[in-house]
Amino acid sequence: MSAPRTASTVVLGLGNVIHSDDGAGVHAVQRLKEAPDIPEDVALIEGGTLGLALLPYLWDAVRILVLDAVDVGQPAGTVVCLSWDEIRRLRGSGSVHLVGLADLLGALQLVANPPQEIILLGVQPASTDWGTELSQEVQVAIPQLVTTALELLCRWSQPLEQAAS
């Protein structure tokens, strides 16, 4: 991971790539790094399972987009979009990173200006067992996750008056 840089929007890919579908967020960020149409003021961070160590990467972020595997009880490979309020209301564990993500964002609010917007784009995992390969369902969902992330990033990069229309 390279040194933090200031960006108004941070895309944070979370997950453990040696636990199969749990690594979906990291795989999605790797795909986004290949996309030619990423808006200029976006930092793409493969956060893995670093937890609070990611704080410097989010310090000045106006918007944070988290990509992760999230268990919302849907069929494997289902892509979901959740606001931070919706994430906090999830019953059960959801993502194994939600506790770490909540700690990270809580710490960010204590020591820096909180971001204006936090969105989680997640994919329902089929398996989080040991393994470095994504399940077939999640492999098929990754392009949709990336496309949805790109659409959101492009919408966020527009001036407010254009984004509202």
pTM greater than the 0.75 cutoff? yes
pLDDT single digits (tens) 100-158: 777 787 788 788 888 999 999 999 999 999 999 999 999 999 999 999 999 999 999 98
Mean residue pLDDT across the chain:
87
What is the arithmetic mean of pLDDT over 23-30? 97
In the β-sheet with 117-123, what is the strand arrangement from edge to edge?
Answer: 42-48, 9-14, 63-69, 117-123, 79-83
What is the arithmetic mean of pLDDT over 49-61? 90
- What pLDDT was estimated at residue 32? 97
* pLDDT confidence band for 94 (50 / 70 / 90): very low
Hey, is 83 helix, strand or coil? strand
- CATH class of the region 9-160: alpha beta
Structure tokens at 79: 């892509």
